[in-house]
């Protein structure tokens, strides 16, 4: 497995790979890799000849008071995990090589990005769409794999790819959870042992909402209320709990079986968690 830091070297690798007629799948990550990320590598390997995993903690998607500085960084461990999982390249550029000092060009999706996480993280999706565009321009992937853990993020990226005629196929991969149901996340390491067990209530609340919907309740307010009540305890503060369209992540007026998703974001102690379930 190759480790490439320089964008120019990455482009050279891409040129040679394409000249051999090989297809490329990209798995964009911010590192601190866990089984959720590695399941994306597995999905990528099924879709293309060469798998590139990018590891880049993207400064432009963090707000001024967010956890950019303390975000976990463990490059050597990440590279070893990628190699063990059969990735061909880890692309890990330095922030200064991606963002010039006078960087001034952003990509902005203007509809989906305004809801859910976009309400409390105003420039977050602008940072995501910008860095993903940069990665697509460097790696020129035929396929890019994203996890449904961040369902709104995939919706925003699918919309960007469609709107800007980007020549890449987006593949969605299912959420990987721990034995208690907590969705794996690099931020779970901010939770202590007890919090980690308690945080499983986020998934339990989504399951309760799903059960209610599947029992025939199509009242979105009732579904939301049950989710919010089920997740509530002394540690949780709900940021949002919404029923949205499963593909676009936009708000829906009525519940249509199998076509919606309950999306939730909560503060669990000092840790911001997001999760969702298809209903
Ligand atoms: P991140 O490093 O958090 O930016 O995530 C990189 C990619 O991994 C994104 O496409 C995420 O949706 C995906 N991902 C993160 N956690 C999980 C999970 N538990 N299950 C599936 N995919 C995930």
DSSP element (H, E) containing 161: helix 151-163
How many angstroms separate the first and last alpha carbons of the chain? 40
- In this prediction, residue 236 carries a pLDDT of 97
Alpha-carbon distances of 50 from 34, 81, 211, rounded to whole Å: 21, 16, 41
How far away, in angstroms, is 170 Cα from ligand 1 center?
14
Q: What is the mean pLDDT of the chain?
A: 98
Atom index in ligand 1 nearest the CA of residue 174 equals 21
How far away, in angstroms, is 16 Cα from ligand 1 center?
29
β-bridge partners, 242: 263
Q: What is the pLDDT of residues 185-212, one digit of tens each?
A: 999 999 999 999 999 999 999 999 999 9
Segment 254-261 shows an average pLDDT of: 95
Return the residue whose CA atom lies nearest to atom 8 of ligand 1: 37
- In this prediction, residue 219 carries a pLDDT of 95
- Binned at pLDDT 50, 70 and 90, residue 78 comes out as very high
Q: What is the pLDDT of residues 60-75, one digit of tens each?
A: 999 999 999 999 999 9
Atom index in ligand 1 nearest the CA of residue 40 equals 22
DSSP element (H, E) containing 243: strand 236-245
pTM above 0.95, yes or no: yes
Query: For the chain, what percent of residues have pLDDT higher than 70?
Result: 100
- In this prediction, residue 143 carries a pLDDT of 98
- In this prediction, residue 276 carries a pLDDT of 99
| Residues with a CB atom less than 6 Å from ligand 1 | 29-30, 36-37, 39-40, 146-147, 149-150, 173, 175-176, 183-186
- In this prediction, residue 243 carries a pLDDT of 98
- In this prediction, residue 192 carries a pLDDT of 96
How far away, in angstroms, is 33 Cα from ligand 1 center?
9
β-bridge partners, 244: 251, 261
Active site residues: 37
Atom index in ligand 1 nearest the CA of residue 150 equals 12
DSSP 90: E
- Tell me whether strands 89-91 and 143-147 are parallel, antiparallel or unpaired: unpaired
How far away, in angstroms, is 217 Cα from ligand 1 center?
31
How far away, in angstroms, is 215 Cα from ligand 1 center?
30
Return the residue whose CA atom lies nearest to atom 22 of ligand 1: 147
Q: What is the pLDDT of residues 125-171, one digit of tens each?
A: 999 999 999 999 999 999 999 999 999 999 999 999 999 999 999 99
Q: Which of 29, 38, 75, 200 to mutate to test the pocket of ligand 1 (most atoms within 8 A of CB)?
A: 29
Q: Which of 34, 36, 175 to mutate to test the pocket of ligand 1 (most atoms within 8 A of CB)?
A: 36
Measure the CA–CA gap between 259 and 52, rounded to whole angstroms: 32
């Amino acid at each position: 497995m190759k480790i490439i830091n320089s964008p120019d070297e990455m482009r050279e690798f891409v040129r040679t790979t394409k000249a051999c007629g090989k297809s490329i799948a990209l798995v964009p990550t911010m590192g601190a890799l866990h089984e959720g990320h590695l399941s994306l590598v597995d999905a990528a390997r099924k879709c293309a000849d060469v798998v590139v995993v990018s590891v880049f903690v993207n400064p432009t998607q963090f707000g001024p008071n967010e956890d950019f500085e303390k975000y976990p960084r463990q490059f050597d461990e990440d590279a070893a995990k990628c190699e063990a999982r059969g990735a061909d390249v880890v692309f890990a550029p330095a922030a200064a090589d991606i963002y010039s000092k006078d960087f001034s060009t952003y990509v902005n999706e203007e509809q989906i990005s305004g809801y859910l996480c976009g309400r409390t993280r105003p420039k977050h999706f602008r940072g995501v769409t910008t860095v993903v565009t940069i990665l697509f321009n460097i790696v020129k992937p035929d396929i890019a794999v994203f996890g449904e853990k961040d369902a709104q993020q995939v919706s925003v990226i699918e919309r960007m790819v469609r709107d800007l005629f980007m020549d890449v196929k987006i593949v969605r991969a299912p959420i990987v959870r721990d034995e208690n149901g907590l969705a794996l996340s690099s931020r779970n390491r901010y939770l202590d042992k007890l919090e980690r067990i308690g945080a499983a209530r986020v998934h339990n609340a989504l399951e309760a909402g799903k059960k209610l919907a599947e029992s025939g309740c199509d009242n979105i307010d009732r579904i939301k209320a049950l989710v919010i009540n089920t997740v509530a305890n002394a540690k949780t503060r709900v940021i949002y709990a919404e029923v949205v369209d499963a593909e676009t992540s936009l708000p829906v007026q009525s519940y249509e079986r199998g076509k919606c998703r309950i999306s939730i974001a909560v503060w669990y102690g000092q840790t911001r968690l997001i999760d969702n379930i298809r209903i």
